[in-house]
Amino acid sequence: MIEQTDAGEIRTLTLARSPVNALNRELLAQLGLALQNAERDGVRGVILTGSGGCFSAGLDIGELLSLDTAGLTDFLTEFMHCLLRLSLAPMPIVAALNGHAPAGGAVLSLYCDRRIMVSGRARMGLNEVAVGLYPGPLILRLLERTVGARLAAELLMTGALLEPEAARHVGLVDELTTSAQLPSTATSWLQRVLALPAAAFAATRALVRQDLVHATQGALDADLAVMVAAWESTATRECLLRLLESTGTRPALH
């Protein structure tokens, strides 16, 4: 589910779970392990991207709706641990957005140091409210640190999904490029920052990301039960079931 390619000191990790790289427990666990292995192997920079025409469609709704309370807790704990691993990663990470990145896919990208997206008609955003989900304080904080408080409030309350140019305009995306140039554009940015004095860069990067680490750890400690309750609410489940039925899929429910 994770494809790995090395080019010198830069490693590309590709989410490879057809058809839309939806994040289930196994994929999240493999991504966390891949990041841990990159640190162990002395990788200096990581590119995170998706296979096919989608970065990630977000959390696997079908799997989540099939779980009982214990299963939901395990799944969401795995998600939070993956986010914590991203926040603690010692090397810079570029999200190379090759296609759609809604909800959990956008969350993964916002944990990266830079987001580069292919121009076109793909959509990106935190659309939790539009599919009946309560996003929670961590996602609000994540969005605020990216685009500012006022715009974060508007985007989160409306569940907006933005096309690449609009995403770049508001600051969700840092740079646009073509599909063919996406890998080289991501590599070029990593090479620029890795050419900086290593100790100063590492210390400064840790400084500017410490709020992200603290927010993620705090959410893991304090917000997990709220997240589980939100997923278990009748209104949320009915909304998500309608969403799955509109795509021709329906989970086996407990």
Which of 9, 128, 144, 165 is an active site residue?
128
Tell me the CA end-to-end span of the chain in Å, nearest whole number: 26
User: What pairing do the DSSP bridges indicate for beta strands 93-97 and 175-177?
Assistant: unpaired
The verdict on whether 128 is a catalytic residue reads yes
Torsion sign, CA atoms 146, 216, 97, 127:
negative
* Integer Cα distance of 150 and 133 in angstroms: 21
Identify any residues that bridge with 116 across adjacent strands, giving them in sequence order: 96, 175
Cα separation of 90 and 36, whole Å?
Answer: 10
Q: How many whole angstroms separate alpha carbon 186 and alpha carbon 180?
A: 11
Tokens of 72: 């939901």
Element (H, E) at 124: strand 124-125
Residues in the chain: 254
Of 151, 150, 128, 123, give the one whose Cα is nearest residue 138.
Answer: 128
- The catalytic residue positions are 128
